[in-house]
């Protein structure tokens, strides 16, 4: 599968998930699913003009949560594709036709499966979608651009995290608690295979790593991420580049047991540290100059 980020609004990402032509028995055309297509015209245009996706090749729409900057394209999707499913975690997601919950699994595209992980906190209907191509890496490496960095490389596994997990950061606790975010990040998402690529809902990496660097100024993985940002790795598009294993190293919200993180914010335990990290990030009181 290929996972194509499409920038929308000022800093959001929508996505196009593509099957490979050879995945479709008797049909050499690719199939596609859209994720949070806030600007449907733009997402549709990228799919059509850059990847040859016709309207009949689209299979549905995944919604990570109900906030308008993610679900705001659902009504347009329903008009454009009236017979296709719109998946989501609650009926707060506009035009949702198939409600999902933690543990839901289904075949999304030929050879691509999805498993749903409920991650309530930013919103209570937040769902992270774990995508996996059922073929092995050797077979995928033979296709197209192979398993390589960037949008056009074949991908074995990835997770759509919406506004729960960002690169070196996490979402605000709008509808939940620090306990819920700790569970979402450090139990639910941390349990995914370490090579899972993180596809987040916003390009917030520069401000996130500036905060992480203020918390752990001498931590090598954070300094590596800073260099990536400064050098505009992958053209400055950081989504789909870093893995769950990377986040455990350069994301302070996933390092709540680190004594240095706790000491920096005065955290007593994991949940208290999560609270104090989020408060410090919200207030802007900790920010390195990068």
pLDDT bucket at 79, cuts 50 / 70 / 90: very high
pLDDT at 112: 96
pLDDT at 137: 82
* Burial bucket for residue 266 (CB in 10 Å: 0-12, 13-18, 19+): exposed
Rounded to whole angstroms, the Cα distance separating 253 from 97 reads: 34
pLDDT at 142: 75
How is residue 93 written in tokens? 């997601």
User: Which of the 8 DSSP states describes residue 186?
Assistant: I
Active site positions, annotated? 65, 67, 69-70, 122, 163, 202
Q: Give 195 or 24, the one with higher predicted confidence.
A: 195
pLDDT at 255: 98
pLDDT at 23 over 60: no
Rounded to whole angstroms, the Cα distance separating 254 from 149 reads: 24
pLDDT bucket at 149, cuts 50 / 70 / 90: confident
pLDDT at 70 over 80: yes
User: By percentage, how much of the chain surpasses pLDDT 70?
Assistant: 96
CATH code 3.60.15.10 region(s) in the chain: 2-187
Interior angle at CA 109, CA 186 and CA 14, nearest 5: 60
pLDDT at 151: 82
What's the length of the chain?
290
Instruction: Domain 2-187: state its class.
Output: alpha beta
Count the alpha carbons within 13 Å of 101 in the hemisphere toward its beta carbon. Answer: 0
| Closest to 199 in 3D by CA, of 20, 21, 35 | 35
Q: Tell me the torsion sign for CA atoms 224, 229, 235, 236.
A: positive
pLDDT at 146 over 70: yes
pLDDT at 136: 86
Number of neighbouring beta carbons within 10 Å of residue 187: 10
pLDDT at 160 over 80: yes
User: Which of the 8 DSSP states describes residue 187?
Assistant: I
User: By percentage, how much of the chain surpasses pLDDT 90?
Assistant: 88
Q: Are 166 and 119 in contact (CB under 8 A)?
A: no
Strand partners, 32: 18, 58
220 CA to centre of own chain:
24
Q: Give pLDDT tens digits for 125-138.
A: 999 999 999 988 88
pLDDT bucket at 109, cuts 50 / 70 / 90: very high
Quick one: average pLDDT of 238-247? 98
Average pLDDT, the chain: 95
Number of neighbouring beta carbons within 10 Å of residue 30: 23
pLDDT at 21: 66
Q: Give 290 or 113, the one with higher predicted confidence.
A: 113
| Closest to 62 in 3D by CA, of 71, 72, 52, 53 | 71
Q: What are phi and psi of 7, to 5 degrees?
A: -65, 135
Q: Are 202 and 12 in contact (CB under 8 A)?
A: yes
Quick one: average pLDDT of 90-100? 98
Quick one: average pLDDT of 235-261? 98
Beta-carbon contacts of 37 under 8 Å, excluding residues fewer than 6 positions away, are 6, 8, 14, 43, 44, 61, 73, 74, 76, 77
End-to-end CA distance of the chain: 35
82 CA to centre of own chain:
26
Quick one: average pLDDT of 16-26? 71
């Amino acid at each position: 599968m290929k996972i194509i980020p499409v920038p929308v609004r000022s800093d959001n990402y929508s996505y196009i998930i593509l099957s490979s032509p050879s995945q479709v028995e008797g049909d050499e055309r690719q199939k596609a699913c859209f994720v949070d297509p806030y600007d449907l015209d733009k997402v549709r245009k990228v799919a059509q003009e850059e990847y040859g996706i016709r309207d009949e090749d689209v299979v549905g729409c995944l919604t990570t949560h109900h906030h308008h900057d993610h679900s705001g394209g659902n009504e347009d999707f329903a008009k454009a594709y009236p017979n296709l499913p719109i998946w989501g975690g609650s009926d707060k997601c506009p035009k949702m036709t198939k409600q999902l919950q933690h543990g839901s699994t289904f075949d999304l595209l030929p050879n691509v499966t999805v498993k749903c992980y409920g991650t309530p906190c930013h919103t209570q209907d937040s769902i992270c979608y774990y995508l996996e191509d059922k073929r092995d890496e050797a077979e995928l490496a033979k296709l197209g651009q192979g398993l390589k960095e960037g949008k056009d490389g074949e991908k074995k596994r990835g997770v759509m995290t919406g506004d729960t997990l960002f690169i070196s950061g996490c979402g605000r606790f709008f509808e939940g608690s620090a306990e819920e975010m700790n569970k979402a990040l450090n139990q639910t998402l941390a349990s995914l295979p370490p090579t899972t690529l993180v596809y987040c809902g916003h390009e917030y990496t520069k401000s996130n790593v500036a905060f992480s660097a203020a918390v752990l100024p001498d931590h090598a993985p954070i300094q590596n991420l800073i260099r990536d940002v400064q050098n505009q790795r992958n053209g400055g598009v950081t989504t789909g580049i870093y893995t769950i294993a990377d986040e455990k190293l350069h994301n302070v919200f996933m390092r709540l047991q680190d004594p240095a993180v706790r000491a920096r914010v005065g955290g007593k335990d994991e949940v208290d540290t999560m609270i104090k990290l989020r408060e410090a990030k919200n207030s802007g009181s900790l920010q390195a100059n990068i």
